[in-house]
Amino acid sequence: MKPRRSKPVPAVLTGEEQLRSIAEASAFLSGLRLRWTATPDQVDHEKLLTAAVGHLVRLEYVDPLKCRHWINEVATVTGIPESVLIERVDKDTAFYNTTANAAAIPTEPQTAIELILQQRKFNPNITPPSLRTVYSLDEQVIATPGNLATITAMPKAGKTATIGGMIASVIAECSGGDFLGFSSSNPNSLALLHFDSEQSPDDHWHQVARALKRAGLQKPPPWLYSYCLTGLGYAQAWECVCEATRRASNQHPGIHSILIDGAADLVNDVNDPTESNDFVATLHGNAIQYDCPIISAIHFNPGGEKTRGHLGSQLERKAETNLRLDKPHEVTTIWSNKQRRAPIPKATGPCFLWSDEAGMHITCETGNDRREAAKEERMRVEVQKVFRDSKAMRYSDLKSTVMSRLSVSDRTAEKKIAVYRQKKLVTDGATGLLIFKG
């Protein structure tokens, strides 16, 4: 039920103040769950509820749709019936609607600010739990609860396949599949949410079907929720994301992760700093509230290597991991040099390509693997040239042969022989001869 609005937004609130009210109220209410469920002796629930209602009143003036959403969320967190919250919001709204109190609209509720500072102040007596890895890539941690991560690439570089690999790594019953380098688990059956706003319904269906195939499953687990939001307006699409997340959180022990393929479709203007900053702050608040990572895919600007608009820049700044996909030819490489933990070098990052036989993308050798293989093959050909006339030589003869046939110096010949031995291309025989193992 939508709370009533007895009057339009009073003139006392300018457009800038309205935007600030939405941002501050959303930020406070996003973190309400953690504050409400903190250690009982550290929480004044009535004071916290008063602050929450104050923020709801602010939203009722400037964004009734958000107010309706947050009333539902506050009711879920606190256990207080929605009808009670609506009555309380209406009562306070009626008070501020009177002419005498119009200037007293709670644009800066001191109790809310005090609570935010109190809850966010460093406390040496409370040690956070050990870091919980949600996703790894090539054994490197890339996503943890309460954080954002991004997947950036040019169009058709493999973002959808990458997200499919992540989904498969969560839903698979064993870890032996080809998950394109990703690994994860979900022993507590937390909800995994996937939102696709870029593909047609048919393509979305096949994406999820391929993830099931990759995981070795015939049907999805009951805690996997994948939605196609393509064609919806940005406001309606974002409302769907929030509602689906809320429902999944209520139906399961918690949220495993949220994957968004097309974050730019959830805002009106990716180049609007105010809107983008507010959206990213809300997204981060949701990651904290639901104790899960939120991974968003977003394109680079056309013809460049900068993520799309101010939204992309803000997501990149706030993310703990920024995965990048490069596809110069038919092979896509996943790598990252902008993250809080150890980087994933491009030379060693996982690679994948499309396989007609498998009907999906499959893992292939990394660029570094291919270079090493080519280097070793060139070395094998080189040693074959050196041992062309004999399969075994004394060290001095081998050295002189390397110098003459490869046109290298004395010192270089010694280094090459040492590498031949290290690579097991040449071994020491019982009679003191060096033997070519070709």
Domains of the chain (ranges; CATH) run 15-120 (no CATH), 135-364 (3.40.50.300), 371-436 (1.10.10)
- The secondary element (H helix, E strand) that includes residue 258 is strand 255-261
Phi/psi region, residue 407 (left: phi>0; alpha: psi -120 to 50; beta: rest), is left
Closest CA to 358 of 145, 247, 260, 216: 216
Rounded to whole angstroms, what are the CA distances from 239 to 59, 117, 276, 289? 15, 29, 16, 17
* Residue carrying the six token digits 């920024």: 322
CA–CA distance, 185 with 366 (Å, rounded to integer):
25
CA–CA distance, 392 with 435 (Å, rounded to integer):
4
Given this model, what pLDDT does residue 240 score? 94
Q: How open is the CA angle 298-289-269, to the nearest 5 degrees?
A: 30
One pLDDT digit (tens) per residue for the chain, 438 residues: 444 444 444 444 445 555 666 666 776 777 777 667 665 555 677 777 887 787 787 777 667 777 887 888 888 888 888 888 888 887 766 655 554 444 444 544 445 677 667 767 888 877 777 778 999 998 889 999 999 999 998 888 889 999 999 999 999 988 778 999 999 999 999 999 999 999 999 999 999 999 999 999 999 999 999 999 999 999 999 999 999 999 999 899 899 999 999 999 999 999 898 999 999 999 998 998 889 999 999 887 666 667 778 898 899 999 999 999 988 888 999 988 888 877 888 888 889 999 999 999 999 876 666 667 767 778 888 898 889 888 889 999 999 999 988 888 888 889 889 888 888 888 888 788 888 876
Tokens (6 digits) for 85: 């919250």
CA–CA distance, 127 with 217 (Å, rounded to integer):
40
pLDDT digits (tens, 9 = 90+) for 47-105: 778 877 877 877 776 677 778 878 888 888 888 888 888 888 877 666 555 544 444 44
Instruction: Please give the order of strands across the beta sheet that includes 224-228.
Output: 224-228, 191-196, 255-261, 294-299, 148-153, 321-326, 332-335, 351-355, 360-364
Three-state secondary structure readout of 343-375 = CECCCCCCEEEEECCCCEEEEECCHHHHHHHHH
pLDDT digits (tens, 9 = 90+) for 12-33: 444 555 566 666 677 677 777 7
pTM: predicted TM-score of the whole model, two decimal places: 0.63
Tokens (6 digits) for 347: 């030379």
Q: How open is the CA angle 208-213-216, to the nearest 5 degrees?
A: 130
Say what the alpha-carbon torsion angle 179, 184, 187, 188 is, to the nearest 10 degrees: -120
Rounded to whole angstroms, what are the CA distances from 102 to 12, 53, 91, 151? 7, 17, 14, 46
Per DSSP, the residues of 179-234 read -TTEE---TT--EEEEEESSS-HHHHHHHHHHHHHHHT-SS--TTEEEEE-TTS-H
CA–CA distance, 307 with 299 (Å, rounded to integer):
6
Answer whether 389's CB lies under 8 Å from 355's CB: no
Answer whether 207's CB lies under 8 Å from 199's CB: yes
* Beta-sheet pairing, 392-393 with 294-299: unpaired
Rounded to whole angstroms, what are the CA distances from 126 to 117, 291, 297, 420? 16, 17, 35, 57
The backbone torsions φ and ψ at residue 317, rounded to the nearest 5 degrees and listed phi first, read -65, -40
